[in-house]
Amino acid sequence: MKVRAYMTSTVLVAQATDSAREALENMALGDVRHLPVVDDEGRLQGVVSDRDLRLPAWAASAAGSEAAFEALTVGEVMTGFAVSVSPDADLLEAARIFVELRFGVVPVVDEDGELQGMLSAMDVLQAFLDMAPGDDTAR
């Protein structure tokens, strides 16, 4: 089975220049914990998580003030991403990434690095359930 069949194609995104507050609000509105960070051409630059926005590392360096949080940008806290998968990758490849790197999501990009969607560990688990014999919940 291919990543394309289980990835989420329509995803909220952030840019490195977006405020951390805006990213956190968008996560809450979209009921997601990760936002892919893209450039103006839609190429993946990294991922920001709700955990990145709540980590005490930035808070300690900025004295944890509300004003410091307001000035914080996504680019300052995001994780630059070297790991991604192709829409045509096998789901087993993605499963290995989740297990070996302990990721909860992985960006899906085309050959030009343009974001195509996101694949979560839950998406992969759903695929495995769909492959189970006699399963009534197949997509």
Q: Domain 3-131 class?
A: alpha beta
Domains of the chain by residue range: 3-131
Q: Which residue has the higher pLDDT, 116 or 80?
A: 116
pLDDT for res 56: 58
User: pTM, whole model, 2 decimals?
Assistant: 0.82
> pLDDT tens, 11-27?
999 999 999 889 999 99
The pLDDT of 88-103, averaged and rounded, is 94
86 backbone dihedrals φ, ψ, rounded to 5°:
-85, 150
Given phi > 0 = left and psi -120 to 50 = alpha, else beta, which region is 117? left
